[in-house]
């Protein structure tokens, strides 16, 4: 061993267990140690290399150790190489100890010097990771990929830099990728749990995180700056400008004068938006293309209001993107898919499930879990394609295995509390079933013991106030409620609308409608409701309804998820201070929500008439905008344009100052373009789009206010 080269000697002495785990993995290290107990290796030095014979295999050790080779067919650092490295390191240490023993007298004489040297060796600095710090960022960006790099930079900006553990190797855990990376010197020998031998995206992210942790780089340096990051600001602005100009030209021409090829035009624009990473604009353009297709097919599903909303959103988004600063482009562009982010340990219990079908050929079930510590709902979905379904396959698919490495069917989770660790969820609290997520069963838990009393609605008057922040289109998990009705009304079926209705009433007679629109996929839900109504006639129990609340016009309704025939423990009426929201606000402090838009109030007797007038005025303004959409600005009749001035005056008198200003601007632009041969349609399109979005926002706000007023009025009448 005396003729061993200095680099290889140094590499062998520094190769501890952490380093060998980084080169291979922990299982290979343990297997190498076990094999070494039954082998008698033979060492021979050949120049800069060390040859180790282990039975039938021969290993050649080189510096760095990651370049070593073995005659076995395994790739990378195999168990034979690990055994050879461990044996060579032990022999090298034994040789050095023998040399020290031969010079014992000299060691006794130089004891103070040796003690100082030993102390210095003990306090030796950690391995030099300078090559990791000097790794070029351009190479790392290319390895990560443009789309993944943008998400990576956004997570670092939002969540901060993950922790880094530095020993003989640098260990970095990527929580969003479920990967563990061990960084070694040289960087080419870094290892990752994805088992890639190349510079994979996980290794590149880990190196960047280490550079950030050591202060080599700042977050501003790695944020998207240009085309090389996948974000091309100039390209995005160019496409946004082209999309805005194309939609503005359509609004100038009018839907009634457009050719049917406009559908292909919108699809091509959507492809352009996809190429420069504008997913929100792409979705809007594809939806507009589908709506145009309905128009030319004379489908009853076509609506002027829906097309106007899509085109207005596209024009406003393109106008903003053309002038948005670089740091805001990512937020306005949107994301192609919703990311599942790590969440803390969750205590979950399954309360219900429902079946769903999509137009893209998928079906499955959504499972609703109650989190007992956060006191809110989570959902988990199991979907599968239906294109290969047969009658036998549909029957067998009713079995659903439990997720998160739990054994047995998911139906066993009813009445049980589980703890989920390593879970991932979206912002809307939709859980994933990744391999790193693991759940364990804790104990049995009845649903009436899981939900707090304030979330078991025996008083329907509290329901709208609690759910208003999430209506009408908030996350589904926030609109799930459990109702405990005192009685159920007579079910009815509307044959004209094909709607099944079942009224529920609380102890004071307040009513809430359970409503299901009949179709093939909902047949099982309707049958279950009919069976429940028949049982209720014969024997009245204490049922509970778990469902999704939604707005139908100005009415709050419930879509059923689960029906509990007998709710085990009837909660008492919660005290006012324990409710999520008071049943009715104090009249002296309650704002007139219906008239916040008007910056003024009305006497109580005139509120209903004022609301009708305001709703009618917004309807007239929307009808005028839809007429403009149909006929086009280039051929809009003068008498229709004059209506805009009348509507502007009425808006000003009512208090809708923004609506009045937009109507006036729209009228002036229409008048100006009549006297020009070549007009720029963009200013008129932007004004039309702002006016349309203003009307839709006002109508949405008024619908919520009117629904709450109607709900509170019904609650008062039955109290």
3-class SS letters over 584-623: CCCCCCCCCHHHHHHCCCCCHHHHHHHHHHHHHHHHHHHH
pLDDT tier, 48 (very low <50, low <70, confident <90, very high otherwise): confident
Residue 211: which residues within 8 A CB-CB, separation 6 or more? 132, 133, 135, 217
- Report the pLDDT value the prediction gives residue 376, as an integer from 0 to 100: 92
pLDDT tier, 604 (very low <50, low <70, confident <90, very high otherwise): very low
CA distance 179 to 172: 9
Please check the confidence at residue 368 and state whether its pLDDT lies above 90: yes
Question: Which residues on neighbouring strands pair with residue 70, listed in sequence order?
Answer: 59
What CATH number does the domain located at 453-578 have? 2.40.50.140
Give pLDDT tens digits for 491-546: 888 888 888 888 888 888 888 888 888 888 888 888 888 888 888 888 777 888 99
Give pLDDT tens digits for 374-405: 899 999 988 877 665 555 555 444 578 888 88
- The first and second tokens of residue 623, run together, are 């009808």
CA distance 459 to 572: 10
- Report the pLDDT value the prediction gives residue 306, as an integer from 0 to 100: 92
Mean of the per-residue pLDDT values for the chain? 80
- Asked if 341-443 and 453-578 have one fold, the answer is yes
CA neighbor of 132 nearest in space, from 173, 180, 172, 184: 184
Residue 460: which residues within 8 A CB-CB, separation 6 or more? 483, 504, 506, 510, 511, 512, 715
CA neighbor of 416 nearest in space, from 366, 344, 481, 351: 351
Give pLDDT tens digits for 305-354: 999 999 999 999 988 888 877 767 766 676 666 777 778 889 999 999 98
Place of tokens 């039955």: 718
**The pTM of the whole model exceeds 0.85:** no
Domain boundaries, the chain: 6-91, 130-229, 233-333, 341-443, 453-578, 606-718
Please check the confidence at residue 123 and state whether its pLDDT lies above 50: no
CA distance 333 to 240: 10
Please check the confidence at residue 50 and state whether its pLDDT lies above 90: no
- Report the pLDDT value the prediction gives residue 633, as an integer from 0 to 100: 85
Give pLDDT tens digits for 267-281: 999 998 888 888 888
Fold of 341-443: OB fold (Dihydrolipoamide Acetyltransferase, E2P) (2.40.50)
Give pLDDT tens digits for 95-118: 777 666 655 555 554 545 444 444
């Amino acid at each position: 061993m005396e003729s061993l080269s200095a680099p290889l000697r140094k590499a062998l002495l520094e190769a501890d267990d952490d380093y060998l785990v980084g080169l291979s993995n922990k299982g290979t290290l343990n297997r190498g140690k076990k094999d070494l107990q039954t082998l008698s290796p033979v060492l021979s030095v050949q120049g800069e290399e060390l040859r180790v014979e282990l039975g039938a295999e021969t290993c050649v050790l080189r510096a760095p150790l990651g370049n070593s080779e073995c005659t076995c067919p395994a790739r990378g650092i195999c168990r034979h190489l690990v055994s050879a490295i461990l044996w060579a390191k032990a022999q090298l240490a034994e040789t050095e100890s023998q040399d020290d023993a031969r010079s014992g007298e000299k060691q006794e004489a130089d004891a103070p010097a040796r003690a100082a040297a030993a102390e210095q060796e003990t306090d030796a600095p950690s391995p030099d990771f300078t090559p990791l710090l000097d790794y070029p960022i351009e190479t790392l960006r290319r390895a990560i990929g443009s789309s993944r790099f943008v998400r990576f930079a956004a997570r670092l900006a939002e969540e901060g830099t993950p922790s880094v553990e530095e020993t003989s190797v640098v260990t970095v855990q990527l929580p969003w990728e479920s990967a563990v990376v061990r960084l070694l010197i040289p960087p080419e020998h870094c290892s990752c749990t994805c088992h890639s031998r190349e510079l994979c995206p996980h290794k590149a992210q880990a190196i960047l995180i280490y550079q950030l942790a050591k202060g080599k780089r700042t977050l501003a340096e790695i944020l998207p700056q240009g085309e090389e990051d996948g974000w091309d600001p100039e390209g995005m602005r160019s496409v946004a400008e082209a999309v805005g100009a194309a939609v503005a030209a359509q609004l100038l021409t009018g839907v009634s004068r457009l050719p049917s090829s406009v559908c292909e035009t919108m699809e091509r624009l959507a492809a352009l938006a996809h190429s420069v990473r504008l997913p929100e604009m792409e979705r809007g353009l594809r939806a507009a293309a589908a709506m145009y297709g309905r128009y030319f097919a004379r489908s009853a599903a076509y609506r002027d209001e829906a097309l106007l909303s899509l085109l207005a959103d596209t024009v406003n988004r393109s106008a903003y993107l053309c002038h948005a600063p670089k740091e805001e482009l990512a937020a306005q562009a949107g994301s192609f898919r919703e990311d599942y982010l790590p969440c803390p340990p969750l205590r979950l219990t399954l309360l219900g499930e429902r079946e769903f079908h999509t137009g893209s050929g998928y079906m499955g079930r959504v499972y609703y879990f109650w989190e007992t510590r956060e006191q809110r709902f989570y959902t988990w979905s199991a979907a599968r394609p239906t294109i290969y379904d047969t009658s036998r396959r549909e029957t067998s698919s009713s079995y659903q295995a439990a997720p998160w490495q739990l054994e047995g069917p998911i139906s066993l989770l009813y009445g049980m509390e589980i703890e989920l660790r390593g879970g991932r969820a979206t912002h809307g609290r939709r859980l994933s079933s990744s391999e790193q997520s693991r759940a364990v069963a804790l104990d049995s838990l009845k649903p009436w013991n899981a939900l707090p009393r304030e979330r078991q609605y025996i008083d329907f008057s509290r329901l709208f106030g609690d759910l208003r922040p999430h209506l009408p289109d908030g996350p589904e998990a926030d609109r799930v409620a459990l109702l405990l009705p005192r009685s159920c009304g007579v079910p009815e079926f509307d044959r004209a609308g094909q709607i099944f209705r079942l009224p529920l009433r609380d102890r004071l007679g307040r009513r809430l409608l359970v409503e299901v629109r009949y179709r093939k996929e909902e047949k099982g839900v309707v049958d279950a409701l009919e069976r429940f109504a028949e049982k209720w006639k014969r024997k009245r129990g204490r049922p509970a309804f778990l469902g999704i609340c939604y707005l139908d016009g100005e009415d709050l309704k419930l879509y059923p998820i689960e029906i509990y025939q007998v709710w085990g423990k009837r909660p008492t009426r919660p005290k006012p201070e324990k409710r999520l929201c008071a049943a009715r606000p104090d009249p002296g402090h309650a704002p007139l929500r219906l008239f916040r838009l008007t910056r003024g109030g009305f006497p109580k007797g005139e509120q209903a008439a004022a609301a009708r007038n305001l709703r009618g005025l917004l309807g007239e303004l929307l009808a005028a905008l839809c007429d403009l959409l149909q006929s086009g600005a280039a051929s809009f009749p003068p008498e229709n344009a004059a209506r805009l001035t009348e509507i502007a005056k009425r808006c000003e008198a009512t208090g809708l100052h923004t609506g009045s200003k937009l109507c006036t601007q729209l009228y002036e632009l229409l008048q100006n373009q009549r006297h020009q041969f070549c007009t720029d349609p963009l200013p008129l399109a932007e004004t039309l789009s702002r006016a349309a979005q203003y009307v839709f926002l006002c109508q949405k706000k008024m619908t919520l206010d009117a629904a709450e007023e109607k709900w509170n009025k019904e609650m008062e009448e039955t109290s």
